[in-house]
Structure 1
Amino acid sequence: MRWTLKPNPETHRIAALKKALQVDDLVAKLLLQRDIVTYDEAKTFFRPNLDDLHDPFLMKDMDKAVERIESALSNKENILVFGDYDVDGTTSVALMSSYLKSRTDLVATYIPDRYDEGYGVSYKGIDFAEDNGFSLIIALDCGVKAVEKVKYAKEKGIDFIICDHHRPGSQLPDAIAVLDPKRDDCEYPYKELCGCGVGFKLIQALASREGKTIEDLVDYLDLVATALGADIVPITGENRTLAYFGLQVINTNPRPGIKAILAQIKKEEFTITDVVFIVAPRINAAGRMKHGNHAVTLLTEADYNLAAAYALDIDQFNTERRDADQRITEEALQQIEEQKEQERFTTVVYNETWHKGVIGIVASRLTETYYRPTIVFTKSGDKLAASARSVSGFDVYNALEACSSYIEQFGGHKYAAGLTLKEENYEAFKQAFEDEVSNTIDKSLLVPEIKIDAEIDLRDITPKFYRILKQFAPFGPGNMTPIFMSQNLKDTGYGKCVGEEDKHLRITVSQTGTDKLVCIGFGLGDKLNIVSNQKPFKAVYSIDENEWNGNVSLQLKLRDIKE
């Protein structure tokens, strides 16, 4: 692990913000690191307000999208809501279809089959629309690169509205409207919305034409917050406001489908981290193991008893997904070990029998293990399909673009992408990808980095300070959980390994003249020797709460320790 201490903001900026907010130096410093400079910015950060959301009509083509949907509603046209099979796609379809169904009965949904149709807008989906009399398709979380498919639909008299957040290609589809904040010609103030977020802006615009306000749309925000967490987009600006109020809905009045998932977990309050690790994997499991339609059915069901039955099915899909994920990860690790004849800057593995639904998860696991850009391939029809994952600081999308002569199709983000290619191009692509990464990556990025917000003493960790820290939530990219470092720590002598196979470390630390604090270090069991015999050590950690027998106390969640 590389420990990187973030640079200190200038002293005069800390002093100015400290005075404006009446907080201590440390809180001012943490805010400045998050680009919060003024009293008003701090107020927006600590007290998000739905009125802070941007006018949806600032998004390029929003007026055209609204006009076309209003025309479809007036003329009683059949509308097909189309979305990808992952969490962002299925929540987007649930959001858009449930809103439109409050205004018309002539709405249906379509999720492509991961195995039969692959990612994004499909010819099969367009044929389905033609066969069933749909004259308008609203595509969510996909479509910005579907130039040929939108053209195909147009030839059949079917219009497209695209709500996407992926990077466009050199040419935009000839759709009625292409809503995507990442368009070069889109001046929308916030660029990091997820697909469901773009869909929400569209229903916000439609609702405003009915005289409704943002307050009338709050019930949809549990879906938006779920998509934001699952898609790992920055939790900054507008996303932070949407996540903040979405979590309130999740914790107070979630839709039956989400309530049924949460009922399987005994917990009083759910955070964005719970959404990422509890809700999202279950919704994703439907599209991975069976079909994304199961997720849409769950998320749009109004009857709780039915939703609870659907949630049980989806929990079973998730169990199957975990089993497949574990088996394939083990096989991939073995394949990598057998290839160790040379030093590589990438991990690229392939097995034609691997389950296409879990190769993205396996790619993430391999990235965690070897910490280098990773691609996992499997057979999909007569092609190879793959999921790519990257390490912090390296743009895997750009690397794929540099190898595009070997690729049939690709799309995605800086840190995660999907691609297909012909089997005969696999070896050539694998070498081209290795060459591109080895020539362009900063080699320091191949060592995992912990970014440390501040070095503090244990005496700085007070209940008051923790109450303020909790208000920094919801956490996510762009606003990560604050990480601290302390030096000259000593274990009280009772440190021990805990958990299955002694994987975890539990110690009680003190610093000269301070109270003791309990620490838990997940996955750090092999570092017990560093703290044994009361040797001094330094630690990187976040601050957490521990509840035991009704008593709540502060504890440190260790990220790493060193002599």
Structure 2
Amino acid sequence: MEKRWVPVPECSEDQVGKLALELGIDQTLSRILVQRGICSFDAARDFFRPQISHLHDPFLMKDMDIAVARIRRAIASGERIMVFGDYDVDGTTAVTVVYSFLAGLAEHLEYYIPDRYAEGYGVSYKGIDCAEAHGASLIIALDCGIKSVAEVAYARQKGIDFIVCDHHLPGPALPDAVAILDPKRNDCSYPFEELCGCGIGFKLTQALCKSLGLDETLPLRYLDLVMVAIAADIVPVVGENRVLAYHGLKKLNENPSRGLYALMEVAGKTGGYTLTDVVFSIGPRINAAGRMDHASHAVEMLLSAENVAAQAQSLLINDKNAARKMFDQDITREALAQIEADELMLKQKTTVVYSESWHKGVIGIVASRLTEKYYRPTIVLTAANGHVAGSARSVAGFDLYEALQGCAHLLDQFGGHRFAAGLTMRRENVEAFRQKFEEVVAASINEDLLTPVIPIDATLGLAQITGKFARILAQMGPFGPHNMAPVFVSVNVMAAFEPAVVGGNHLRLAVKQENSAIFEAIAFGQADMLPALRTGMPFSICYTIEENTWRDKKRLQLNIKAIRPQNG
């Protein structure tokens, strides 16, 4: 699919020149910093050297003082506390952080992860009943609960208090909880709104440390878990998230928790992780526990105090991930065949596919793959617990959640945000929903949004890529949403050697410009460009610069996002 190469907005050249002089760096690097709002020496220092001291006081969060007081009362009176969390990476890591911290303080403590299929997302009645049966009088809900108005009221009737720690958008009414920690509350003035659920849990442990007079560095032992949640939940890697991700990556690569190290071992890589590595290697494995079986396996692994136990759980989870991959591939193949066989669907602005036999645990992954291929708002539906469940994905710039609101009369429930959502409906509504979703999206989406965009940070000569340039560029990481790896364009590039197709659909090549060194490059999914490169004619590339390690040797590599023949 052809992609639009769109330069990021221009910035003040005076600021660029001034910052380049102050920092002693290349003007191109200075321009990238200014484009990202880093315009002074002090701002650049904080950006390149994120400090734990840059984190905000947790008591700035609405209800944090109430939450801490309630937990302290529960600890002092020997109440049983249940730590409740969602079944994805963010939820399971959040449970691990808060449970581990409280384990040294509370005499009666347990955790609960709902079954993805039997209970669904969020606070469940079954979980509350379990808390009652075990004598718990306080539930701390992590990465869920902000919309659980009925469930929290149900717990109240049973004499069970709730503390909600969530990062999702609230609904029209807040649950009647003792405390609600959510920076997205309209009445919360916390300085950073984009924490993940595990990040909220981490702030709670910080607040408890301060209140109890404990060593305030104690929560730092959980930074690798918080970082994994930040990476997997695709939250903006700016502000507090950047500080947490930076130090969390450092901990993962130098001194990871036993559970995460065991998972790294089965993944075949025990060091040198980037946030991207976490997204594609660690995150899917943790998620596979809840997708294919029960997410409690992930928590058991992450809580493991012994290497043998951690290794056993990591092997189990790795097997679940292998099974997940098989389901993912099979369902994606079936969904593609369904689309290709439907002339009308091929011409539409949306994709909605349905099969009763698809595994609910992987439909979100399949939706992402279909969106990547056809680049339009996509929903994958399957049968689940007597109704139809769906996972939705959007394209950049289009508000998926708003589109679903336009179809709300056909849905039993839905939730999510601009780019991803989950939904349920009755079977008899599937066809009507398919038509209504297409109608709503077609009436509101800008045609340009249906073509993927590659934001271009700068035009670069290959000769500018020196060791110093690459080192400074790497220090702009960790990269993620709102701080993506800079993308460069180089024109009049030549293939230094014959390009080769590798892995079935990827191109491995070496490129050069006049007076430049030769750079190794990889172009994933672009084997179809091979004939154009064999002509010997120059071409343009857009790419990121990364460090590739092969057999313990490190070298710079260009990760090519798109190729254009020079006359194209």
Both proteins in one fold, TM over 0.5: yes
Query: Is residue 287 from structure 1 mapped to residue 287 from structure 2 by the alignment?
Result: no
The alpha-carbon deviation at position 28 of structure 1 amounts to 1.0
Q: Which residue matches 1:62?
A: 64
Q: Which residue matches 1:110?
A: 112
Structure 1 residue runs of 5 or longer lacking an equivalent are none
Letter in structure 2 aligned against 1:47: R
The aligned runs of 1:342-491 (5 Å cut-off) are 343-491=347-495
Please give the alpha-carbon distance, in whole angstroms, between the structure 2 residues aligned to 1:83 and 1:548.
39
Contact 1:50–1:214 under 8 Å retained in 2: no
Residue deviations 1:124-182 (CA, integer Å, cap 9, x gap): 11111111111111100011001111111111111110010111111111111111111
The aligned runs of 1:47-86 (5 Å cut-off) are 47-86=49-88
The alpha-carbon deviation at position 17 of structure 1 amounts to 1.7
Please give the alpha-carbon distance, in whole angstroms, between the structure 1 residues aligned to 2:199 and 2:244.
8
- From 168, 177, 180, the equivalent of 2:179 is 177
Please give the alpha-carbon distance, in whole angstroms, between the structure 2 residues aligned to 1:42 and 1:406.
50
Q: Which residue matches 1:6?
A: 8
The alpha-carbon deviation at position 212 of structure 1 amounts to 3.1
Alpha-carbon distance change, 550 to 326 in structure 1, aligned in 2, over 3 angstroms: closer
Please give the alpha-carbon distance, in whole angstroms, between the structure 1 residues aligned to 2:8 and 2:365.
30
Identity of matched residues, %: 53
The alpha-carbon deviation at position 209 of structure 1 amounts to 1.0
Residue deviations 1:406-464 (CA, integer Å, cap 9, x gap): 22121112211111112222222222211111111111111111111100111111011
The alpha-carbon deviation at position 547 of structure 1 amounts to 4.0
Q: TM-score, normalised by structure 2?
A: 0.97
Please give the alpha-carbon distance, in whole angstroms, between the structure 1 residues aligned to 2:398 and 2:532.
32
Between the two proteins, the alignment pairs up a number of residues equal to: 561
The alpha-carbon deviation at position 200 of structure 1 amounts to 0.7
Q: Which residue matches 1:323?
A: 326
Please give the alpha-carbon distance, in whole angstroms, between the structure 2 residues aligned to 1:558 and 1:70.
53
Q: Which residue matches 2:256?
A: 254
Letter in structure 2 aligned against 1:241: V
- From 518, 530, 534, the equivalent of 1:516 is 518
Q: Which residue matches 2:281?
A: 278
Q: Could you say what the CA RMSD is over the residues aligned between the two structures, in angstroms?
A: 1.3
Structure 2 residue runs of 5 or longer lacking an equivalent are none
Residue deviations 1:78-120 (CA, integer Å, cap 9, x gap): 1011111110011111111111111013110111111111110
Please give the alpha-carbon distance, in whole angstroms, between the structure 2 residues aligned to 1:17 and 1:500.
43
Please give the alpha-carbon distance, in whole angstroms, between the structure 1 residues aligned to 2:551 and 2:199.
40
The alpha-carbon deviation at position 548 of structure 1 amounts to 4.8
- From 244, 251, 266, the equivalent of 2:269 is 266
Letter in structure 1 aligned against 2:138: L
The alpha-carbon deviation at position 553 of structure 1 amounts to 2.9
Contact 1:165–1:198 under 8 Å retained in 2: yes
Contact 2:502–2:508 under 8 Å retained in 1: no
Please give the alpha-carbon distance, in whole angstroms, between the structure 2 residues aligned to 1:9 and 1:218.
37
Q: Which residue matches 1:221?
A: 223
Letter in structure 1 aligned against 2:334: E
Residue deviations 1:265-312 (CA, integer Å, cap 9, x gap): 135311111111111111100000000110111111110111001100
The alpha-carbon deviation at position 238 of structure 1 amounts to 0.3
- From 28, 31, 44, the equivalent of 1:29 is 31
Please give the alpha-carbon distance, in whole angstroms, between the structure 2 residues aligned to 1:371 and 1:548.
33
SS of aligned partner of 2:343: coil
The alpha-carbon deviation at position 513 of structure 1 amounts to 2.1
Larger deviation, residues 334-343 vs 86-95? 334-343
Please give the alpha-carbon distance, in whole angstroms, between the structure 2 residues aligned to 1:34 and 1:105.
48
Larger deviation, residues 264-273 vs 198-207? 264-273
Alpha-carbon distance change, 554 to 374 in structure 1, aligned in 2, over 3 angstroms: same
- From 523, 534, 537, the equivalent of 2:536 is 534
Letter in structure 2 aligned against 1:374: T
Q: TM-score, normalised by structure 1?
A: 0.97
Q: Which residue matches 2:502?
A: 499
Letter in structure 2 aligned against 1:97: Y
Larger deviation, residues 510-519 vs 81-90? 510-519
Query: Is residue 557 from structure 1 mapped to residue 549 from structure 2 by the alignment?
Result: no
Please give the alpha-carbon distance, in whole angstroms, between the structure 2 residues aligned to 1:120 and 1:93.
13
The alpha-carbon deviation at position 525 of structure 1 amounts to 1.2
Letter in structure 2 aligned against 1:364: S
Please give the alpha-carbon distance, in whole angstroms, between the structure 1 residues aligned to 2:20 and 2:245.
27
Please give the alpha-carbon distance, in whole angstroms, between the structure 2 residues aligned to 1:527 and 1:183.
49
Letter in structure 2 aligned against 1:164: D
Query: Is residue 332 from structure 1 mapped to residue 304 from structure 2 by the alignment?
Result: no
Alpha-carbon distance change, 35 to 403 in structure 1, aligned in 2, over 3 angstroms: same
Letter in structure 1 aligned against 2:533: V
Alpha-carbon distance change, 288 to 131 in structure 1, aligned in 2, over 3 angstroms: same
Contact 1:495–1:505 under 8 Å retained in 2: no
Contact 1:373–1:388 under 8 Å retained in 2: yes
Please give the alpha-carbon distance, in whole angstroms, between the structure 1 residues aligned to 2:410 and 2:58.
39
SS of aligned partner of 2:82: strand
Letter in structure 2 aligned against 1:133: G
SS of aligned partner of 1:341: helix
Letter in structure 2 aligned against 1:17: L
SS of aligned partner of 1:263: helix
